[in-house]
A and B are shown apart, each in its own frame.
Chain A
């Protein structure tokens, strides 16, 4: 069994994990006796387990916060990790974040504190000032957050301490496929494609933010885990003409960076799903390939007329994204075929998407609605409406679209279309929302889209959140 090589707090580690499912958190606490990183939920929702992955981009040190509870050890090959034990200076000097947390009483019970410190340290290192976003994935039940924000803001006034500035992220060689027959972490796309064609039962893991829960909550063992997030070709983003091709293993943070200038509305939504920690590892391909009826990207990408690129060995096929989702848990993916990327048209001015959930940040959508209408003067000559949360799959509102096509865009048309949504969807009730509310929201979002287009007499349309 070959070793997994990585660095923890500048110390080189060679660890073994024959199960393929040991998480970093488990390893830190039970094997490395680094107990400062806490388990709060074991599903990437509370942030108590936050650690940092260090990298150098454009000659700058970048700190990416991640949830160690759903990060597999095998995903760490050739990576540098910093934990709460590696934040203070060599002489025990506190990091400015730690000092400020004490000064502003940002700690009460202290259990979330290491995770919060790690998130704030990542912001401090990266020079990020949007602390609400930085901390969206760190739950605190004691303080009410104000003292933590005060601490974070204070820390940002201080320079990076020497010991952080002087971190030398080891020059990582091109990652090697260290796996043997049952656990793989391929680095070459073609080799992976060939291998997967003959090992179609393997479990593909990109970010692992969904698969992680199969392990930590469903207690499953994974047949032939194959970790694909280090395949460089799968992380590429290309723009040619009016089309952006996004590699399946592109993480959501990166995706947001490249898409936000084309579709600010999509960027707002991306920043509401998961948390920084999740978006730093979760991938575009994963959000599509897992086939969830409540994934937030598919409705948006369907409304944008995206095409999915599927590949088996060296054969590729493209299909409209909506055709990929056949039924609950069933996708149009052949044995040995994998999602290689997605093509997103970039020219649509009047694309908008909306996410409705109980809590603004880091919640799963009750309804996610995406709309696109092109007008020829006042006549709708192209329309796309797709929803998540209304059916067993992300789905287009076909009847509503058909009705709208060729109509004059006005309030009466929209109100009639709203009623037609009832023929397109029969949403279910569950813990996130009732079917009736989902339907009402679907209709109202269409109305909201319309009012947004009409730029209704300058009225504020949606709640600004800082």
Chain B
């Protein structure tokens, strides 16, 4: 496309506002007088029939203005992002503990929260389905098991010299965005509604509010300046608070504001899908896979939400970087009486990837090989190999650069020597054992719902040459706004300061897709470039006409127009164009090319390209307690020709830590009644500062270049690095394996308890402490 490098380490556009506390989040917006506050009354029963709800004590509570049951709603009672109904307020039944049953509207946040606890509810309890096994036994599925198959896996496995089977369970993950769900709605004249929402998906919030109010979408305007973190947790889960605000504002005629208390946020909203993966794999003595049969049991919770595409993506990432000559992936989408699992960075990909990485690790253990060698022998062929291979869903893998990345990482991380040193350490140290693992990542980029791969942008240039930028993407900390602004500035050849970033706004760019699937920069950046190019083309046409020349003879370089030995500055041309009645505003629209996908049969090209990376992690465990520590991590990650390496590096580091948090300390615990006991940071432990690697060495891959025509040939970076965290999990498993004879079969999250249990399950008398030998 262009050899022009956009690379520039510009800081986050809001950096100064962030560090001074001036950045405004929805809850920081100044309230107009008369603003009301909301709270949900929640179900304390996981499964049951609502017999009666006595709201009298709620009405009597201080400051209460109105209390709504589902029967009081003005129009639709549905906040679902999918075609499957998901009530805002429970109707006849409750389906999980934490489900909203009624809505309190009160004068203050505290009064609303207090009142919401006062209802007297009679609910006839039904035995809830909580676990994967509960759901399997009751055959509680959202749709028939989906099967993706290539080749003849059964016979490929059976005829293999070696066959292994096993199982891994992995927990879910709470997003723990630091800013909880929040919205504010301000009624406008003529049934209009202005809503400030902390959402990754303003157009969907607009759509759901319109349905909730029974008005067309053009009456509803949703604005998003920034979120205090999203991670997928505000892709669909922002709908409820925003709809509740709009409904309350509509019914009272007053501005309404709603933020979940942190504990309510945990109880009400969805999390990452937890999952069990069972496998049977056939391979040869060198570790090369002949065939694999994988069953994925995905716990989706009480409503469908985004579970189908999440589970699909788990299936699509069952190969990771490995060629599977024959495979059968079966996915069970289980309905349970728990929070509805939802999008979370990686969107099913991490679960699928943990599954195959476990399989490779297990094979290596069985063969007594270094897992790295088993991984390498199964990698997809590189682009220049002359024989490209297809994934299990039939997509030709044209860009598999993982071998090159891994080779570089093996060398820069000194992997081989360190493995040797670790073995020596483990021989000498009875109490503390070390482990190391290198895992690769190949992550498919595009929404698997093909129609979502579209984006719009709106660019104005004002008479003074200043640029106003708007596009369909939302800012949640990932630096999307600065990256798109860089693209606009680069396209116009103007300094970054001349571009004004504006909030995502459904009045400016309509029908947007969620800022999700790592696609933000790819699609909004392209749309923005197209919009800017339209304006430049008009200016070129204008100058060509003035010089009685052909547009091809007008050159635009670094913000200057050159025609027939004349050079014009950008601002000068802008003003001239205005005086000559040329439009200085344009929309840009982009749709990702090359995609075709049939999710039912599992064939096609769901992804435009793949993003790659690899990590080596070294850990230490205490065999008496299961306590552990990440000693060192080395990462090389491919972001193509980065638009902003500093921003991308932040995504890689943060994604990695979030990924191993999921697989180590972050444990969701439901009690036997279905109550989520870990519903606050006091009980749910995301990595804290000291949990970061003692020695972290992260590099963006210097040779990175996207062979597809993406914006500046960059690659998406939001989700892929999360899966680098799998290396920590397998390093822990490796440390355990140093003193167990059987394969450890560690489950996630690898809390100290699971690590110790895995150790003690595999040996009784650990070793001779006196001699310090195993």
Alpha-carbon gap, A148 to B690, bound state (A): 12
Alpha-carbon gap, A116 to B21, bound state (A): 11
Known A-B contacts A108-B12, A141-B177, A358-B752; the reply to A459 vs B431 at CB < 8 A is yes
Q: Is A84 a contact of B20 with CB atoms below 8 Å?
A: yes
Within 8 A of A (CB), among B616-647: 620-622, 624-625, 627-629, 646-647
- A41 part of interface (Cβ distance < 8 Å): yes
Measured CB to CB, the nearest residue on chain A to B657 is A144
Q: Is B17 a contact of A364 with CB atoms below 8 Å?
A: no
Alpha-carbon gap, A117 to B15, bound state (A): 12
Alpha-carbon gap, A42 to B230, bound state (A): 19
- A230 part of interface (Cβ distance < 8 Å): no
Q: Which of B28, B656, B756 contacts A144 (CB 8 A)?
A: B656
Enumerate chain B residues within 8 angstroms of A103, measured Cβ to Cβ.
Answer: 11
- A55 part of interface (Cβ distance < 8 Å): no
Alpha-carbon gap, A38 to B574, bound state (A): 43
- B707 part of interface (Cβ distance < 8 Å): no
Within 8 A of A (CB), among B14-29: 14-25, 27-28
Q: Is B683 a contact of A411 with CB atoms below 8 Å?
A: no
- B507 part of interface (Cβ distance < 8 Å): no
In the complex, how many residues of chain B place their beta carbon closer than 8 angstroms to a beta carbon of chain A?
A: 93
- State the Cβ distance, B203 to closest chain A Cβ, in Å: 21
Q: Is B677 a contact of A141 with CB atoms below 8 Å?
A: no
Enumerate chain B residues within 8 angstroms of A132, measured Cβ to Cβ.
Answer: 689-690
- A280 part of interface (Cβ distance < 8 Å): no
Known A-B contacts A33-B30, A37-B21, A434-B753; the reply to A411 vs B770 at CB < 8 A is yes
Q: Is A38 a contact of B228 with CB atoms below 8 Å?
A: yes
Q: Is A46 a contact of B689 with CB atoms below 8 Å?
A: no
- A174 part of interface (Cβ distance < 8 Å): no
- B760 part of interface (Cβ distance < 8 Å): yes
Q: Is B647 a contact of A105 with CB atoms below 8 Å?
A: yes
Annotate B402-429 by CB proximity to A: 1 below 8 A, 0 otherwise: 0000000000000000000000000011
Q: Is B479 a contact of A141 with CB atoms below 8 Å?
A: no
Q: Is B14 a contact of A110 with CB atoms below 8 Å?
A: yes
- A461 part of interface (Cβ distance < 8 Å): yes
Q: Is A149 a contact of B688 with CB atoms below 8 Å?
A: no
Annotate B178-190 by CB proximity to A: 1 below 8 A, 0 otherwise: 1110000000000
- State the Cβ distance, B338 to closest chain A Cβ, in Å: 15
- B477 part of interface (Cβ distance < 8 Å): yes
In the complex, how many residues of chain A place their beta carbon closer than 8 angstroms to a beta carbon of chain B?
A: 89
- A303 part of interface (Cβ distance < 8 Å): no
Alpha-carbon gap, A396 to B646, bound state (A): 54
Q: Is B756 a contact of A437 with CB atoms below 8 Å?
A: yes
Alpha-carbon gap, A411 to B770, bound state (A): 9
Enumerate chain B residues within 8 angstroms of A131, measured Cβ to Cβ.
Answer: 689
- B694 part of interface (Cβ distance < 8 Å): yes
- State the Cβ distance, B138 to closest chain A Cβ, in Å: 25
Q: Is B629 a contact of A358 with CB atoms below 8 Å?
A: no
Enumerate chain A residues within 8 angstroms of B756, measured Cβ to Cβ.
Answer: 437, 440-441, 444
- A1 part of interface (Cβ distance < 8 Å): no
Q: Is A149 a contact of B689 with CB atoms below 8 Å?
A: yes
- A171 part of interface (Cβ distance < 8 Å): no
Alpha-carbon gap, A457 to B770, bound state (A): 9
Chain B CB within 10 Å — which of A108, A140, A430 has the most?
Answer: A108
Alpha-carbon gap, A140 to B177, bound state (A): 9
Enumerate chain A residues within 8 angstroms of B650, measured Cβ to Cβ.
Answer: 105, 108, 142-143, 147
Enumerate chain A residues within 8 angstroms of B432, measured Cβ to Cβ.
Answer: 459-463
Alpha-carbon gap, A97 to B671, bound state (A): 43
Q: Is B229 a contact of A145 with CB atoms below 8 Å?
A: no
- State the Cβ distance, A436 to closest chain B Cβ, in Å: 8
- A36 part of interface (Cβ distance < 8 Å): yes
- B328 part of interface (Cβ distance < 8 Å): no
- State the Cβ distance, A418 to closest chain B Cβ, in Å: 11
Within 8 A of A (CB), among B460-494: 476-479
Enumerate chain A residues within 8 angstroms of B770, measured Cβ to Cβ.
Answer: 411
Q: Is B178 a contact of A107 with CB atoms below 8 Å?
A: no
Alpha-carbon gap, A131 to B479, bound state (A): 26
Enumerate chain A residues within 8 angstroms of B342, measured Cβ to Cβ.
Answer: none
Chain B interface mostly: loop
Alpha-carbon gap, A38 to B21, bound state (A): 9
Known A-B contacts A38-B228, A107-B15; the reply to A147 vs B653 at CB < 8 A is yes
Q: Is A111 a contact of B11 with CB atoms below 8 Å?
A: no
Q: Is A88 a contact of B627 with CB atoms below 8 Å?
A: no
Q: Which of B15, B25, B476, B751 contacts A102 (CB 8 A)?
A: B15
- A98 part of interface (Cβ distance < 8 Å): yes
Q: Is A360 a contact of B654 with CB atoms below 8 Å?
A: no
Enumerate chain A residues within 8 angstroms of B681, measured Cβ to Cβ.
Answer: 40-41, 43, 45-46, 139
Enumerate chain A residues within 8 angstroms of B625, measured Cβ to Cβ.
Answer: 354, 356, 441, 444-445, 448
Known A-B contacts A37-B21, A109-B178; the reply to A141 vs B760 at CB < 8 A is no
Q: Is B16 a contact of A102 with CB atoms below 8 Å?
A: yes
Known A-B contacts A141-B177, A356-B625, A437-B753; the reply to A466 vs B21 at CB < 8 A is no
Enumerate chain A residues within 8 angstroms of B671, measured Cβ to Cβ.
Answer: 431
- State the Cβ distance, B626 to closest chain A Cβ, in Å: 8
Enumerate chain A residues within 8 angstroms of B228, measured Cβ to Cβ.
Answer: 38, 109-112
Of the candidate stretches B94-102, B109-117, B367-375, B528-536, the one touching chain A is B109-117
Alpha-carbon gap, A465 to B692, bound state (A): 10
Alpha-carbon gap, A36 to B770, bound state (A): 57
Q: Is A466 a contact of B694 with CB atoms below 8 Å?
A: yes
Q: Is A219 a contact of B117 with CB atoms below 8 Å?
A: yes
Enumerate chain A residues within 8 angstroms of B214, measured Cβ to Cβ.
Answer: none
Q: Is B691 a contact of A463 with CB atoms below 8 Å?
A: no
Q: Is A142 a contact of B229 with CB atoms below 8 Å?
A: yes
- A165 part of interface (Cβ distance < 8 Å): no
Annotate A415-448 by CB proximity to B: 1 below 8 A, 0 otherwise: 0000000000000001111100100110011011
Q: Is A463 a contact of B628 with CB atoms below 8 Å?
A: yes
- B682 part of interface (Cβ distance < 8 Å): yes
Enumerate chain A residues within 8 angstroms of B177, measured Cβ to Cβ.
Answer: 109, 111, 141
- State the Cβ distance, B691 to closest chain A Cβ, in Å: 7
Q: Is A110 a contact of B683 with CB atoms below 8 Å?
A: no
Alpha-carbon gap, A137 to B155, bound state (A): 55
Enumerate chain A residues within 8 angstroms of B685, measured Cβ to Cβ.
Answer: 358-359, 363
Enumerate chain B residues within 8 angstroms of A360, measured Cβ to Cβ.
Answer: 627, 688, 690-691
Known A-B contacts A46-B681, A114-B21, A462-B622; the reply to A109 vs B752 at CB < 8 A is no
Alpha-carbon gap, A169 to B131, bound state (A): 57
- A39 part of interface (Cβ distance < 8 Å): yes
Chain A CB within 10 Å — which of B12, B428, B646 has the most?
Answer: B12
- B518 part of interface (Cβ distance < 8 Å): no
Enumerate chain B residues within 8 angstroms of A140, measured Cβ to Cβ.
Answer: 178, 689
Q: Is A38 a contact of B178 with CB atoms below 8 Å?
A: yes
- A101 part of interface (Cβ distance < 8 Å): yes
Known A-B contacts A109-B177, A440-B756; the reply to A361 vs B688 at CB < 8 A is yes
Interface residues of B (CB under 8 A from A): 11-12, 14-25, 27-28, 30, 110, 113-114, 117, 175-180, 226-231, 261-263, 428-432, 476-479, 620-622, 624-625, 627-629, 646-647, 649-650, 653-658, 665, 667, 669, 671, 677-678, 680-683, 685-692, 694, 696, 698, 751-753, 756-757, 760, 769-770, 772
| Given A143-B650, A149-B692, 12 additional A-B pairs, CB 8 A | A40-B179, A40-B262, A105-B649, A109-B226, A144-B692, A217-B263, A219-B114, A431-B677, A444-B625, A447-B624, A459-B430, A461-B431
Q: Give 9 closest A-B pairs by Cβ, nearest first.
A: A36-B21, A109-B477, A111-B228, A110-B18, A144-B657, A84-B21, A108-B477, A45-B681, A431-B669
A-B contact list, 23 entries, CB within 8 Å: A40-B179, A40-B681, A102-B11, A105-B650, A107-B18, A108-B650, A109-B230, A109-B476, A111-B179, A111-B477, A112-B178, A113-B21, A131-B689, A136-B689, A146-B698, A148-B689, A356-B752, A359-B665, A362-B688, A430-B677, A431-B678, A463-B620, A466-B690
Interface residues of A (CB under 8 A from B): 26, 33, 35-43, 45-46, 48, 83-85, 87-88, 94, 97-98, 101-103, 105, 107-114, 117, 131-133, 135-136, 138-149, 217, 219, 354, 356-364, 366, 411, 430-434, 437, 440-441, 444-445, 447-448, 451, 456-457, 459-466
